[in-house]
Structure 1
């Protein structure tokens, strides 16, 4: 059974809870049965041999060379099957942990208690009156992106979800023996199907595939969770929730780059953007129609006990004139049930909106809200629970999602605009790329006419270097549509260290642009800018990038106060620690004082979307944690405390940033480094995983410098080597530059930013395996680079432990520590399989068939390691 050895090994450090052990053992046993049935007992025996060998290697009982020799004995096809086994195991182990987390969340949510980092906790800490005041400007704005970081096929994800459902059924309390036997049979059936499902994508995704994939998170989770979060706050603010009007307005808005982000992705066209919005609209209108029909059918209160208000009676009478057959049918089905009749009529109108039946369709979400509030106000006089219960949830859903679901944002590179503008001004024949820029602006105009300005108005300009980069978009919009140009909020994206430093100057220049002045006057002097975490970290290293971003936020906050601008900072954070990832709520609390101001907008991408929004309980917890952090970070008390810590440790931060950046650049800018990186990692092969529609790099061929390489494959490839370099490299040198260990420890205790920096580095170090990493680094034939990387790893690990006071990595993170321990040996197994393929592909000569099989082994192991480490890029 493939899980028992790890249980014994990890018990000495972190005991696995019984419920988790039960699920891991059950799923592992069933997977073992499937492997034996499909591949034979000899395949299961080989899987067990490798499992026991890597565990023994971790104990020092066998050498890594012995494991390498074992793996080399197998035919490639056998190695592929073994890699499939470990990959399937990781999917099942992740599922078992998710179920345990959900159970834990529910157990913590005890009656009368206040769960930490919840909305109720924020109300408890700040007081209901203070929270109600803060909620007036509270806004959470997650933006889903299609950046290619989800290694799993959608078919694999749905297979795992089916297994999840059966595991829930199996563990449900009060079930009889026959019911449990049937659930176990179904579990075995679904695990068997997971084993038979191809784990590698047969073809490349196109942008609309990515849109449809993201819709799964909306359909299965987000639509239901949002009103639950609002209800949680309403319950915390005062008694009587569900019988009175809510005390806080909706504060969650979703955005999307999927189908709108064309920076470096020629596959995203104006046609794609148009279709993306239509797909979103179809999903949200279907969901609203279903919810309205369900609620309408339950509103069976008769006119005797819940009489219609005069306003509702008049509205029903008016609809009889306009749509006599429909209203007659509803009246026949719902006699003397006016509210039921009305809601079912509203559902029919939503259906007509989806079909584009203009005789019955709503013209806007505001019209729908007016009809819902007509019913709500009518019920409020006699049936308050019906007015402010499920019907209020529906009102919240319309207020949050409208008819467009999520605001689609467009992003394009500043150089594309500059080239297009040059052609437009020249007045000659326009290139295909320039025509596409103008077509995109016209599509934005169409979206606004069809769905309203809220559906699509933000236009992000990557690599903004000057205010002229912003002005260029407005000039192109005038050329595309003249006086009918769409409403645009052009958002500058600052990514490099130099761009971050120059950002206040750029914003001052934007104030001179007439269209920006007009938008400031219209929006109450609101302005949005975006901060890029990925490219800044790739350029500067993790420590310097974190500290430079904080410094930029301080400067931008001061600039906004000086110019009377309500500045919102949009955080372009990746999923991995080397791209600004990590716990979102801690990231909020680590922001510069005044920079949050009740609003937090952040990208959610790749595997993060399904990790955070794949299950309603986890999604609700995540959203409450972030909302809690935004409320606390926006309070004067927390802001003052953070400001004092930042002032005290400013010189220390500068010292750490400078030294860490120098160390990082001395490696990444050294001659031959890009070529070495391509040799020691599966960088070149990642494109074959078909993770997304966006190319993995700028230009063709091997990267000549890191500028040619996008941040995601940079992080993903290092994770595969078990080095995780983007998450920690340079930090050790930075910490070593500070003479006083006590001062570093004080900064860790008192300054949230420094605390988060070291804790995130500790997580990255914990997922690093030095002994496995050495085997990858040796593939590059540069002993100097290998020695430099490993020396910095040793330095960083040692100093992080000294500063945090921990005796081992993740000592104070029991759950994460257990997760890493559970997976490490199995990731080792996949790493050895991957190394075999990499060595052969780098040095051997093969037939096309042999190369294809080795590539399959490599890519399957990449997929499995990503599942085991639970992150890609």
Structure 2
């Protein structure tokens, strides 16, 4: 049965593989095609049949490749990884449609399933559900960093291929249509092959903004309104008395791109202003296009349909005086709305849109004013027998305006607390020499900051010259204030403080916000959320204490009144993992959340958690649905924000239908987690004690390897592609915080990405095997049974093991051993790789014993199938990458750099990231 279901996937992979092979043969010649085919066949034999002879032959072939042959091989297998991803996404869509067509029971993660559970369990009735969304917030936040390795041109090619595959699925093609589709696919694959995979220049922040905006254009602007409509219709069907409720705009896609300054000197006030303008252009451009089409559709004549007085007034006020439309009030009204929106475009962006209005008009003062005019259209149609016409394009446009406004996406600001501290210290010192803020203890700092927050007097003077850093920080906040005046307060809602250590970090930001007028003491007004980010293990342990202390300050509690008594807290998954390893990071996060829930409840403040998750398991990644449901009780409360990072953004949102499904999963999980009944009994103490013991042992094992082993830093830099990643044009942010090779200074993103590339995946599992071994030694009688119970009964532990299961399945120590050979010190190599191999063996054994599986991923057949299909084509890229790294480093030692070899390394990095799908 499963084989039959997967047959279309295999067919698509074979089709795309054949087209790629034909393209290689046509473009590079028969010899190149034959070489690539020999590599493919040996790789399949080695991967599927564990054929040692095949591996030896494969390595001999790859090691003997010439420079040009290497580039051809790397490009071929990299593009195959991309094509396999497209086929896999299409198969997910195919299977989802098959379930819906067959009338299958709603699946986990769907809105239908979440609503059904809520209604059947009695957790809420339809009216209460509609009310729930009034105070809800579900916000995926796009971030840019060096694991987003795709060029927009490549994404465009892949979109064409996906649409062509989709057409083959949904339509019964005539022979002529099928032939045309085949030809179009062939052209698309050829275009992909002839499109440069890598950037020739380093990515700028504005390039990153542009890449991020592409997902709004292809997915969010269209799919989010459809998601809202589906949810509203489901609620209406559950209770006809509700009518069709119009839910609050509780799903908001946010962004950090252009506002995240932490460690990125290229994010300036000018960049922030440009990013906001680019976002505005996308939003208004979409509305104008939709209005243009809507005007062509609503050709209703006044003699055939009635119109409300408000609608007739809109038509009368319109600058459209064409006699051909004199009896078409809806069209004239839309022409007037279009003219006002075009004037808004010109007012906000300084130039006209591509399609001009019929005449000049007054710009809209706000997105709410535009929404009100669209509401007039809606009400008039509904009141005059044309209700069906309100449910299509007009409905989606009205929803888009309410969700995206003139700003498109709320743009977060983020900066390191050390920068805030230096800025405030300089402002205070210039205003009152001798303050010596940096030398004060915490209590004295807080007292001084609160004194400043009690007065409306600014610290900064236009007559004083400050350091470039301070000037830059002040300029950012002033630009944010101007953005509020220009686009509305929704444009920038959050200011995040990286490396929050104590209360003064929050108060320093408050002082800086006051300088720009974003905090106004006399009005008790705060225009943005002050969001502490707790990142390291120590910071997570102190998080609840910091928040308890800030809540005890009356002045700060007064500011929270302006934010609906809601405080957001961000938790960092990446740095806590690099600091303490996968298991300890997960446990520290879980405990911090529970402690925050208790602290906030005690102080009467609503908690909103912002999860700084990466794409990889080593950075908090993994399936979002299970991750949200595994949160401690009370941690969601109807509101959640989480980062979407790296190549995961493309995987989740590059295809509109897949993107809609991923947005639905976030909403469903938030609803289920928020409405689940309070647990009758807390998590058993035995579970908590066992988890603490496991965490302590895993922490010791991880720290012992990474931070306490002599030479480990050198091993890491020589056995991975970290040096080459740092030189790759895949992000605007430096790979390290300082000019050093220390693990402490390295950013968590390239740390994880490097281990993924060499197939060790160390940040996603290391230490668990040792922890379980120690635990079972200390508890020989019932230790294993207890761990098995934890896996069966505790969602948190179950999710940890499931994510580890996934990352272990993507680990390949046979391939990793070839990377280890790049380490020149044989003794160092043997010692460290030997420890990694032993820990891997222990960890796989522990996961299998606890879960009861005979093989990894027995419980996840979909992922197991994916790996079976894709990894035979991924392995050659690793083998070639090792050889290229060796040649590149030998050439560098001899004083020369071969650009073709470096190009091959960079292409291989791209292909491996695509094949692993969640590597950064």
TM-score by length of 2: 0.89
In the alignment, structure 1 residue 823 sits paired with structure 2 residue 822: no
Q: Compared with structure 1, are the counterparts of its residues 79 and 111 closer, same or farther at alpha carbon in structure 2 (3 Å cutoff)?
A: closer
1:213 to 187, 211, 235: 211
Q: Provide, for residues 556-596 of structure 1, a one-character-per-residue CA deviation record: whole Å limited to 9, x for no partner.
A: 00001000001101000001111000111111101111010
Match of 1:809 in 2: 856
| Corresponding residue of 2:330 | 339
CA drift of 1:388 comes to 4.4
Q: Which residue of 1 aligns with 2:469?
A: 433
Report if the CA contact (8 A) 1:139-1:252 is conserved: yes
After the TM superposition, which of the residue ranges 809-818 and 383-392 deviates more from structure 2?
A: 383-392
* Aligned counterparts of 1:713 and 1:84: Cα–Cα separation in 2: 23
> Mean Cα displacement is larger for which, 389-398 or 220-229?
389-398
2:452 is matched with which residue?
none
Distance in structure 2 (CA, Å) of the matches to 1:440 and 1:727: 36
Q: Does 1:681 align with 2:720?
A: yes
Residue in 1 that maps onto 2:538: 498
Q: Deviations over 1:659-686 (max 9, x none)?
A: 1111111111122211110010011000
SS in 1 for 2:75: helix
CA distance in 2, matches of 1:484, 1:236: 43
| Contact in 2 for aligned 1:146/1:258 (Cα 8 Å) | yes
Q: CA deviation at 1:359?
A: 5.0
Q: What is the correspondence of 1:668-747 to structure 2 with a 5 Å cutoff?
A: 668-669=706-707, 670-701=709-740, 703-704=741-742, 706-739=743-776, 740-747=783-790
**Aligned residue for 2:902?**
855
Written as runs of structure 1 = structure 2, the 5 A alignment for 1:34-433 is 34-58=23-47, 59-62=50-53, 64-110=55-101, 113-116=104-107, 117-127=109-119, 128-129=125-126, 130-171=128-169, 173-239=171-237, 244-246=243-245, 248-317=247-316, 319=317, 326-329=319-322, 332-356=323-347, 359-382=361-384, 383-427=386-430, 429-433=465-469
Match of residue 798 from structure 1: 845
Conserved? CA contact 1:139–1:253, under 8 Å = yes
Kindly state the Cα deviation for residue 101 of structure 1 after the two structures are TM-superposed: 1.3
Kept in 1, the 8 Å contact 2:518–2:527? The answer is no
2:814 aligned residue (764, 771, 790):
771
Q: Distance in 2 between matches of 1:426 and 1:735?
A: 54
Larger displacement relative to structure 2 (378-387 or 391-400):
378-387
What are the superposed Cα offsets for residues 529-552 of structure 1, whole Å, 9 maximum, x if unpaired?
100011001111111111110000
Whole-Å separation in 2 of the counterparts to 1:832 and 1:389? 52
Further displaced range: 406-415 or 664-673:
664-673
User: In structure 2, what is the Cα distance between the partners aligned to 1:114 and 1:828?
Assistant: 39
Q: Deviations over 1:793-833 (max 9, x none)?
A: 00110110111111111112122111111122222111110
User: In structure 2, what is the Cα distance between the partners aligned to 1:566 and 1:574?
Assistant: 25
Q: How far 1:172 moved relative to its partner?
A: 5.1
Cα deviations by residue, 1:723-773 (Å, 9 ceiling, x for unpaired): 111111112222233331111111111111111100000000000012111
Q: What SS class does the counterpart of residue 493 from structure 1 fall into?
A: strand
* Aligned equivalents of 1:241, 1:259: Cα separation in 2: 45
Does the CA-based 8 Å contact 1:237-1:247 persist in structure 2?
Answer: no
Distance 1:99 1:666, change over 3 A: same
C-alpha RMSD over aligned residues: 2.3
Identify which range, 580-589 or 350-359, moves more after superposition. 350-359
Specify every segment of 5 or more residues in structure 2 that has no aligned partner in the other structure, as ranges. 120-124, 349-359, 431-463, 777-782
Shift of the 197–472 alpha-carbon distance from structure 1 to 2, 3 Å rule, reads: same
1:833 matched to 2:880? The reply is yes
Counterpart selection for 1:519 from 559, 566, 591? 559
- After superposition, give the CA deviation of every residue in 1:172-230 in whole Å (9 maximum; x if it has no partner): 53322222222222222221221122222101110111111111110111111111111
1: CA distance, partners of 2:26 / 2:362:
58
Measured in 2, the distance between the counterparts of 1:297 and 1:625 equals 35
Shift of 1:54: 2.5
Q: CA deviation at 1:94?
A: 1.1
Whether 1:655 and 2:655 are equivalent positions in the alignment is no
In structure 2, do the counterparts of structure 1 residues 647 and 238 end up closer, same or farther at CA, with 3 Å as the change threshold? Answer: farther
Query: 2:792 aligned with 1:749, yes or no?
Result: yes
Cα deviation for residue 513 of structure 1 reads: 5.7
> Cα gap change, 1:418/1:152 in structure 2, threshold over 3 Å: closer, same or farther?
same
**Residues 162 and 515 (structure 1 numbering): CA distance in 2 closer, same or farther, change over 3 Å?**
farther
CA distance, structure 2, for counterparts of residue 118 and residue 630 of structure 1: 11
Distance 1:721 1:603 in 2: 25
Normalising by structure 1, we get a TM-score of: 0.93
- CA displacement at 1:608 relative to structure 2: 1.5
Q: Deviations over 1:275-308 (max 9, x none)?
A: 1000000100111122223223322333345422
Please identify, of 841-850 and 377-386, the stretch whose mean Cα deviation from structure 2 is larger: 841-850
Residues 1:630 and 2:670 aligned together: yes
